[in-house]
């Protein structure tokens, strides 16, 4: 027993280390991109139109640490980033970390709401289709799923707003209300963006659930369970679904990249003040430290969710748990 616990800890430790290295590589890329990009943040900060004096420029450079060699700039930046210090906003001097910490939970919430919605829609539909393979119901569900995968988020979002806010008036079209101020309003405003973001994923999950269920239903052990006298319902819920869950979790993990990409559009469309909104705003204002900080936060979030998915795998499949450790 201790050996398996030690094995599990070792597995988690190894995954954390990998995640850290991934983050380090991304941080380096982000730093390089910002360094290579044209435009001088100092001039921007002082206002290029006001023709700042050479001294003013030089002192600003020193203040921002831009007079140092690139390598030391990089390490200073990295060291500070490790302590969650991404510098201050060039626009108003607020610490970047405060912006990031304020917006990160909102993106996280949006992403998780989307995953939950997608799972709640996708898994039951997939099961329904698999149990009546080849029937009208199966064909209909599979076709809807195909459409769902192909519809771009911005079209679906627009349709949702048209239907649910403008026509029916059930839900607000956009915006954000903090949960501490009005719980009901918070979730009403979360509903449409989360649904728009999760719909494509729901379709992928439904298809994966269907094919995974069909594959598992054909396995020998299902016949054993029937021969044991177990009811079909219990076979499905207790055994088949748990086995089928492994590829379903995989597809959720793989689709996360799309999901994070989707947040850029969804946040902009529904005016959701998350990380992507922060990033887009920072890019247009050339607020370099903010761009770096929010990009790093998005990357970290992506890696974190992937880490959770991988650990979930091991929890679901004893074969991976013992083999990989």
**Residues 3-32 interacting with other proteins (rule: CB under 8 A):** 3, 6-7, 10-11
Q: Any contact of residue 168 with other proteins (CB under 8 A)? A: no
Q: Any contact of residue 231 with other proteins (CB under 8 A)? A: yes
Are 117 and 72 in contact by the 8 Å Cβ rule? The answer is: no
Torsion, Cα of 246, 247, 253, 257 (10° steps): 180
DSSP string, 228-245: TT--HHHIIIIIIHHHHH
Q: Any contact of residue 132 with other proteins (CB under 8 A)? A: no
Q: If phi over 0 gives left and psi between -120 and 50 gives alpha, with beta otherwise, what is residue 53?
A: beta
Output the CA–CA distances (angstroms, integers) from residue 129 to 145, 211, 212, in the order listed.
11, 9, 11
In the complex with other proteins, the residue whose CB is nearer, 168 or 227, is: 227
Q: Which of 61, 80, 188, 239 binds other proteins (CB under 8 A)?
A: 239
Shortest separation between residue 222's beta carbon and other proteins, angstroms:
8
In whole angstroms, what is the distance from residue 108 CA to residue 88 CA? 23
Q: Any contact of residue 228 with other proteins (CB under 8 A)? A: yes
For other proteins, which stretch binds (CB under 8 A), given 22-30, 75-83, 188-196, 236-244?
236-244
Q: Any contact of residue 319 with other proteins (CB under 8 A)? A: yes
Q: Is 108 exposed, middle or buried (0-12, 13-18, 19+ CB in 10 A)?
A: middle
Q: Which of 116, 159, 162, 223 binds other proteins (CB under 8 A)?
A: 223
Q: Any contact of residue 138 with other proteins (CB under 8 A)? A: no
Specify which residues 95 forms β-bridges with: 88
**CA 7, 11, 12 angle in degrees (round to 5)?**
120
Q: Any contact of residue 242 with other proteins (CB under 8 A)? A: yes
How many residues touch other proteins under the rule CB under 8 A: the total is 27
Q: Any contact of residue 47 with other proteins (CB under 8 A)? A: no
Sites of contact with other proteins (CB under 8 A): 3, 6-7, 10-11, 219-221, 223-232, 239, 242-243, 316-319, 322, 325
């Amino acid at each position: 027993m201790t050996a398996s616990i030690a094995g599990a800890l070792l597995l988690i430790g190894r995954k954390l280390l990998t995640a850290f290295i991934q983050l380090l590589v991304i941080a380096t890329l982000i730093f390089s991109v910002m360094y290579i990009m044209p435009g001088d943040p100092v001039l921007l900060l002082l206002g290029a139109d006001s023709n700042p004096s050479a001294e003013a420029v030089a002192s600003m450079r020193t203040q921002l640490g831009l007079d140092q060699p690139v390598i030391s700039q990089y390490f200073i930046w990295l060291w500070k980033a490790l302590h969650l210090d991404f510098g201050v906003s060039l626009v108003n001097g607020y610490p970047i970390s405060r912006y990031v910490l304020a917006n990160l939970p909102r993106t996280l919430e949006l992403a998780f709401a989307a995953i939950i919605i997608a799972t709640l829609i996708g898994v039951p539909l997939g099961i329904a289709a698999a149990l009546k393979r080849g029937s009208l119901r199966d064909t209909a569900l599979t076709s809807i799923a195909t459409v769902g995968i192909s519809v771009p988020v911005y079209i679906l979002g627009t349709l949702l707003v048209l239907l649910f806010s403008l026509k029916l008036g059930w839900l607000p079209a956009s915006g954000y209300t903090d949960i501490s101020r009005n719980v009901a309003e918070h979730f009403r405003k979360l509903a449409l963006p989360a649904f728009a973001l999760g719909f494509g994923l729901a379709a992928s999950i439904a298809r994966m659930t269907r094919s995974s269920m069909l594959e598992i239903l054909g396995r020998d052990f299902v016949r054993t369970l029937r021969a044991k006298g177990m009811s079909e319902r219990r076979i499905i819920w207790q055994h088949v679904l748990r086995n089928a869950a492994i590829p379903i979790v995989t597809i959720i993990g793989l689709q996360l990249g799309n999901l994070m990409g989707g947040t850029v559009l969804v946040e902009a469309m529904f005016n959701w003040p998350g990380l992507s909104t922060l990033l887009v705003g920072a890019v247009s204002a050339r607020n370099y430290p903010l761009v770096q900080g929010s990009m790093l936060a998005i990357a970290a979030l992506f890696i974190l969710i992937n880490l959770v998915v991988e650990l979930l795998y091991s929890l679901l499949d004893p074969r991976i748990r013992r083999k990989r450790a």
